[in-house]
C-alpha cells in the first residue's frame, strides 16, 4: 500500500465509523486532494463531509476550530506547509489555547494535516519544514509520519483524539510503498526503532529516516560499528524514554533533520541529550541538518541545501573517527 493510500484509508475508516468526521481544504473534494490523499472520498461521503474550501488558509483552520467546538471532528488539509503560515494565528492562538484558556470547557478534536519539506525543485516558497515552530506550541500534539504503517495508525488516532493534532507528512513520501498491519496496536507517541544497533543512536523523522537508512551501511562499514536508527514519530510530546534507553546503550547520538540547522527542531534533541544524558555521552551529540538558506530551485543547489544519504554517511563517519569510534 502506498503512503497516500494508507492516509486515505485512515480517513475513510474514521469517516465510516463516525459521522462527525469531516474533511476540509482546497481541492480535497471533487479533485481528490492535490496529493490524492482524499481521492474517492467525496463519492462515498458527499460534499457536506468533504468540503472544498476557497484559498483561505486562515479560515480553513479557523473554521475547523469552530466545527470542533460545535462537536464535529474536522480534518483540515493545508496543501503545502508554507501556506500554513497564513493560518498560524488560528493554529497557535486558537487551536492550541482554547482548551487551556477555558479551563477544559472547550475541547478541540481536530487535525491539521499538511505535507512539508523539500520535494523536487519547488523553490523557496514551497519547500519548508515547520515542525520546529509547531512542536514548540503547548497544547498541540505534533505527529510526523515517516512510515506507511505509522501513517495509517497515527492518522486514525489523530482524528479520533480529543486533542488538537498537527499531522505532518512529507511531499516525497506519498508514493512510498509499505506494509500496513491493520490489526497492530500502535502507540502514536512511541518512537519507532527502525533498526537496532549498539554504538550510535541516529534519531530522525519523516523522509530523513529513509535517507539515514540508506546511509547506515556505509557508516557501519567505515566505522566497523552498528547504528540504532530511531524514527521519532511524535515530535511533541517526545518519547524520551526510548531515546534514553538507546543512548544509554550506545553513548552516542546523531540527529538528522531536513530543515535548516539554525533553529531546527533537532536542536532540542541534542540539547536534551546534553542536559539530561551528559554523563552517558561518549562523544559530542551532533546534528546533521540543512543549510541556513532558503531552498533554491536549481536541483544541484537544492540538493546541496539538504542532507543526502551520502552527506549523512560522510559526516557520521568523520565524527565517529574523530571521536574515538
Partner 1 sequence: MNKLLAEEIYYNMVLGRTFELAAKEHYMAGDISGFLHLDIGQEGFSVAAMKAFEKGDVFTTYREHVMAIARGMDPRAVMAELFGKAGGISRGRGGSMHLFDPSHFFYGGDAIVGGQIPNAVGCAYARKFQGSEDGVMVIFGDGASNGGAFFESLNIASAQKLPLLFVCENNGYAIGTKITRVAPFEKQAKKAEPYMMTKEVDGMDAVAVYEAVREAQELIQAGHGPVFLEAMTCRYEGHSMSDPGTYRSKEEMGICKSKDAIERMESYLKTMYGLTDTQLQGVQRRAQATVDDAAAFAAAAAEPELSELFEDVFCKERVNASF
Ligand X SMILES: Cc1ncc(C[n+]2csc(CCOP(=O)(O)OP(=O)(O)O)c2C)c(N)n1
Q: Name which of residues 86 to 105 contact ligand X (CB under 6 A).
A: 86
Pick 169 or 228: Cβ nearer ligand X: 169
Is residue 56 a contact point for partner 1 (CB under 8 A)? Answer: yes
| Beta carbon of residue 86, minimum distance to a second copy (angstroms, whole number) | 5
Is residue 59 a contact point for partner 1 (CB under 8 A)? Answer: yes
* Contact window for ligand X (CB under 6 A) among 5-13, 79-87, 156-164, 293-301: 79-87
Q: Which does 262 bind (CB under 5 to 8 A by kind): a second copy, ligand X, partner 1, none?
A: a second copy
Helix (H, G, I), strand (E, B) or coil at 191: coil
| Beta carbon of residue 270, minimum distance to a second copy (angstroms, whole number) | 4
What's the rounded Cα separation, in Å, for the pair 205 and 100?
29
Which has the closest alpha carbon to 256: 304, 208, 320, 210?
208
Which has the closest alpha carbon to 200: 289, 322, 316?
316
Q: In the window 24-63, what residues touch ligand X (CB under 6 A)?
A: 26, 55, 57
| Beta carbon of residue 39, minimum distance to a second copy (angstroms, whole number) | 28
What's the rounded Cα separation, in Å, for the pair 12 and 205?
25
What's the rounded Cα separation, in Å, for the pair 52 and 57?
12
Which has the closest alpha carbon to 197: 230, 148, 174?
230
Residue of 5, 26, 57, 171 marked catalytic: 57
Pick 221 or 241: Cβ nearer partner 1: 241
Q: Which does 106 bind (CB under 5 to 8 A by kind): ligand X, partner 1, a second copy, none?
A: partner 1
Pick 18 or 162: Cβ nearer partner 1: 162
Q: Which does 70 bind (CB under 5 to 8 A by kind): a second copy, partner 1, ligand X, none?
A: partner 1
Is residue 286 a contact point for a second copy (CB under 8 A)? Answer: yes
Pick 26 or 257: Cβ nearer ligand X: 26
Q: Based on the number of CB atoms within 10 Å of its own CB, is 9 exposed (0-12), middle (13-18) or buried (19 or more)?
A: middle
CA dihedral 193, 198, 202, 207 (to 10 degrees): -40
Nearby residues of 75 by Cβ (< 8 Å), 6 or more positions away:
11, 21, 22, 23, 24, 64, 110, 111, 113, 159
The three grid cell numbers given for residue 233, joined into one nine-digit string: 514519530
Contact 216, 227 (CB under 8 A): yes
Provide the residue count of the chain.
325
For the question of residue 57 being annotated catalytic, the response is yes
For the question of residue 169 being annotated catalytic, the response is no
Is residue 55 a contact point for partner 1 (CB under 8 A)? Answer: yes
Q: In the window 277-306, what residues touch partner 1 (CB under 8 A)?
A: 291-294, 296-301, 304-305
Helix (H, G, I), strand (E, B) or coil at 23: strand
Helix (H) or strand (E) holding 319: helix 309-322
Q: In the window 213-232, what residues touch ligand X (CB under 6 A)?
A: none
What's the rounded Cα separation, in Å, for the pair 229 and 224?
16
DSSP 99-132: HHHTTTS-----EEEEEES--SS--GGG----HH
Q: Which does 178 bind (CB under 5 to 8 A by kind): ligand X, partner 1, a second copy, none?
A: none
Which has the closest alpha carbon to 44: 78, 79, 14, 84?
14
Is residue 187 a contact point for partner 1 (CB under 8 A)? Answer: yes
Active site residues: 57, 126
Which parts of this chain interact with a second copy (CB under 8 A)?
A: 58, 82-83, 85-86, 88-89, 92-93, 96-97, 100-101, 123-125, 128, 132-133, 135-139, 236, 238, 259-260, 262-268, 270-271, 273-276, 278-279, 281, 283-287, 291-294, 296
Which parts of this chain interact with ligand X (CB under 6 A)?
A: 26, 55, 57, 79, 83, 86
Amino acid at each position: 500500500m502506498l503512503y497516500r493510500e494508507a492516509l486515505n484509508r485512515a480517513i475513510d475508516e474514521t469517516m465510516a465509523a463516525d459521522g462527525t468526521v469531516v474533511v476540509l481544504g482546497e481541492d480535497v473534494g471533487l479533485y481528490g486532494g492535490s496529493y490524492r490523499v482524499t481521492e474517492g472520498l467525496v463519492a462515498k461521503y458527499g460534499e457536506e463531509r468533504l468540503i472544498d474550501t476557497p484559498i483561505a488558509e486562515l479560515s480553513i483552520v479557523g473554521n475547523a476550530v469552530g466545527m470542533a467546538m460545535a462537536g464535529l471532528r474536522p480534518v483540515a488539509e493545508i496543501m503545502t506547509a508554507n501556506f500554513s503560515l497564513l493560518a498560524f494565528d488560528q493554529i497557535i492562538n486558537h487551536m492550541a489555547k482554547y482548551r487551556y484558556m477555558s479551563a477544559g470547557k472547550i475541547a478541540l478534536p481536530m487535525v491539521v494535516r499538511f505535507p512539508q519539506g523539500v520535494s523536487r525543485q519547488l523553490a523557496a516558497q514551497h519547500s519548508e519544514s515547520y515542525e520546529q515552530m509547531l512542536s514548540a506550541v503547548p497544547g498541540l500534539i505534533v505527529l510526523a509520519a515517516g512510515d506507511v504503517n505509522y501513517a495509517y495508525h497515527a492518522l486514525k488516532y489523530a482524528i479520533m483524539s480529543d486533542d488538537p493534532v498537527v499531522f505532518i507528512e512529507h511531499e516525497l513520501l506519498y508514493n512510498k510503498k509499505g506494509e500496513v498491519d491493520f490489526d497492530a496496536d500502535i502507540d502514536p507517541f512511541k518512537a519507532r526503532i527502525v533498526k537496532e544497533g549498539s554504538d550510535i543512536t541516529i534519531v530522525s523523522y519523516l523522509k530523513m529516516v529513509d535517507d539515514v537508512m540508506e546511509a547506515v551501511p556505509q557508516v557501519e562499514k567505515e566505522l566497523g560499528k552498528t547504528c540504532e536508527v530511531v524514527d521519532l514519530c511524535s515530535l511533541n510530546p517526545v518519547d524520551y524514554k526510548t531515546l534514553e534507553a538507546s543512548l544509554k546503550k550506545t553513548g552516542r547520538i546523531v540527529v538528522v533533520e531536513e530543515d535548516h540547522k539554525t533553529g531546527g527542531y533537532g536542536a532540542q534533541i541534542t540539547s536534551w541529550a546534553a542536559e539530561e544524558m551528559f554523563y552517558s555521552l561518549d562523544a559530542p551529540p551532533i546534528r546533521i541538518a540543512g543549510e541556513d538558506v532558503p531552498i533554491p530551485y536549481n536541483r544541484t543547489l537544492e540538493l546541496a541545501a539538504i542532507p543526502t544519504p551520502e552527506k549523512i554517511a560522510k559526516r557520521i563517519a568523520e565524527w565517529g573517527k574523530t571521536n574515538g569510534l
